[in-house]
Amino acid sequence: MPIIVNLDVMMAKRKMSLNELSEKVGLTLANLSILKTGKAKAIRFSTLEAICKVLDCQPADILEYTEDQEV
């Protein structure tokens, strides 16, 4: 998939666990885990906003676009 989720990178930079982020954002661990592992098919802007607010970052710090590599 050409969209890479760098949530784990931002969490590490902020020294924040998935449990702590879950509590502060108000999302379940399961939903955050799906997002963190890149298995999510979509993300609401309100969720992205809440994550950015808690992690004090920009959406581009979490989401990255790369060209699809054809094999």
CATH number assigned to the domain comprising residue 35: 1.10.260.40
Task: Flag whether 70 is in a domain.
Answer: no
Residue 69's pLDDT is 67
Question: What pTM, to 2 d.p., does this model score?
Answer: 0.87
Domain that holds residue 55: 3-65
Give the total number of structural domains in the chain. Answer: 1
Task: Flag whether 38 is in a domain.
Answer: yes
| Per-residue pLDDT reduced to its tens digit, 35-57 | 999 899 999 999 999 999 999 99
Residue 67 pLDDT grade (very low, low, confident, very high; cuts 50, 70, 90)? confident
Task: Flag whether 44 is in a domain.
Answer: yes
Task: Flag whether 47 is in a domain.
Answer: yes
Q: Which residues contact 11 (CB under 8 A, 6 or more apart)?
A: 17, 18, 21, 36, 55
Q: Write the DSSP assignment of the chain as a string of letters.
A: --EEE-HHHHHHHTT--HHHHHHHHT--HHHHHHHHTT--S---HHHHHHHHHHHT--HHHHEEE-PPPP-
